[in-house]
Amino acid sequence: MSAPQAIVAMTRRLPRWTRILLLLSPALLVVGVFFVAGVVQGVAQSFGYQPFLPGYQLSFDAYRQLWTDPAVRASLLLTARVAVVSTFSAASLGVTAALLIRRLGRSRGLASGLLQANLAVPHLVGALAILLLLSQGGLLARLTHAAGLTAGPASFPALTADRFGWGIIAEYVWKETPFLGVIALAALSRGIDDLEKVARTLGASRWQQLRHLTLPLLAAPVAAGSILVFAFAAGSYEVPYLLGRPYPATLPVVAFQGYRNTDLTARPEAMAVAVLITVLTATIVTAYLTLVTRLSRRTI
């Protein structure tokens, strides 16, 4: 008997629980070693713990600094704004696109292919494309200049490296609208046609079908996708670094810059920001999930 054969034969004779644990263990090991250890270490180091270094002192200093630091407060605001605006815009545009594409005839395949192609594009490329489109020397600024709307680069509104975060939002919306659109399109293809037929025989007008049947059915998958979009928008580094300004920067940029600071005393604060990001995303996700479950249990 060859080695793999022996292993498979062995697992077959194992008790159920052992078999399940064996099957799960490699994946759980990866998540445990990198994710759980990462979170635990992040929390510990935010309290001043320094692995492999003697003489550290545990304290709440980092969090106290965080609380009083106006830069962090501005950064928190910016991060929340960017994530919320991006998520809501991408969700509504994505659902709109899906509803429109569904009614297309032959060009439906082409349109959904366009959405899928956009999904595969790395965010870094998206950031560059948005930069070349929206910056004050970008294509849009040239077009407004040619149309006589703006006099020069400075009179074009700052859409990248701006205070509000328009450029960052534009990149997220551009990348995530197709993502949520594809999710909505997939949900629409699953027998919704038949349910809409039933709704018609029950007297629902087109608008009522959309309002009482199609949108509620899209809510669950689109909400699940939106959670991922929100978490990504709140936690990614390269897009806000490239399209935002150094101050205020989003939380991930602050955390990463602080961590790379040659001054090692800045590390606990960087870790505290990382913990803040983790807690923020976890809280929002949990709150959102609870809300969605509660909403889906409405009575007449």
Partner 1 sequence: MSDSRASSGVDVALSGLSRRFDDTVAVADLSLRLPAGSFTALLGPSGCGKSTTLAMIAGLITPDGGEITIDGMPMSNVAAEHRPVGMVFQRPLLFPHLNVEQNIAFGLRMRRLRKGEIRRRVASMLERVQLGGLASRRVGELSGGQEQRVALARALVLEPPVLLLDEPFSQLDASLRHEMRSLVRRLHDDLKVTTVFVTHDQSEAVEVADSIALMLAGHLVGFDTPTAFFTRPPSLTAARFFGFANEVAGVVSAGCFVSHDGCIEIPSDAADGAATLVVRPESLWLLPVRTRTSVAAVGTIVNARFAGSHLEITVQRDSGEGLTVHAAIDQAVQLGAAVVVGFRPGGCTVIPACSP
Partner 2 sequence: MRRGVLLALITGLLLPWIPLLIWAVSRQWRYPALLPQQYSGRGLRLLADPHTQILHGLLTSTVIAVTVAGLACLIGFPAGRAIGLYRFRGRRIVQFFLLAPVIVPGLAVTLGIQVFFIRYGLSDRITGVILVQLMPTVPYAATMLGGAFANYDIEYERQARMLGAGPVRVLLTVTIPLLRPAIALAALFAFLISWSEYVLTLLVGGGQVQTLPLLLFSAIGSPDTNAAAALALLVIGPPLLLVGLAARTLSNRSSATIGLARL
Q: Which of residues 24-53 bind partner 1 (CB under 8 A)?
A: none
Minimum distance from residue 299 beta carbon to partner 2 (Å): 26
C-alpha 299/C-alpha 215 separation (Å) is: 17
Q: 3-state class of 230 per DSSP?
A: helix
H and E: helices and strands count for the chain: 15, 0
Q: Fill in the amino acid letter for 241.
A: Y
C-alpha 30/C-alpha 28 separation (Å) is: 5
C-alpha 296/C-alpha 220 separation (Å) is: 9
How many residues lie near partner 1 (CB under 8 A)?
22
Minimum distance from residue 35 beta carbon to partner 2 (Å): 5
> Binding segment for partner 1 among 12-20, 24-32, 203-211, 227-235 (CB under 8 A)?
203-211
C-alpha dihedral sign at 208, 213, 219, 222: negative
Q: State the binding partner of 216 from partner 1, partner 2, none, CB within 5 to 8 A by kind.
A: partner 1
Judged by CB under 8 A, the residue of 62, 141, 217, 277 near partner 1 is 217
The answer to whether the beta carbons of residues 134 and 122 sit under 8 Å apart is no
Minimum distance from residue 231 beta carbon to partner 2 (Å): 5
Contacts of 297 (CB under 8 A, 6+ apart): none
Q: State the binding partner of 266 from partner 2, partner 1, none, CB within 5 to 8 A by kind.
A: none
Q: State the binding partner of 200 from partner 2, partner 1, none, CB within 5 to 8 A by kind.
A: partner 1
Minimum distance from residue 258 beta carbon to partner 2 (Å): 9
Q: State the binding partner of 205 from partner 1, partner 2, none, CB within 5 to 8 A by kind.
A: partner 1
Between 26 and 191, whose beta carbon lies closer to partner 1?
191
C-alpha 247/C-alpha 253 separation (Å) is: 10
Contact flag: residue 299 with partner 1 (CB under 8 A): yes
Q: State the binding partner of 201 from partner 1, partner 2, none, CB within 5 to 8 A by kind.
A: partner 1
Q: State the binding partner of 65 from partner 1, partner 2, none, CB within 5 to 8 A by kind.
A: none
C-alpha 231/C-alpha 245 separation (Å) is: 21
Contact flag: residue 73 with partner 1 (CB under 8 A): no
C-alpha 36/C-alpha 53 separation (Å) is: 22
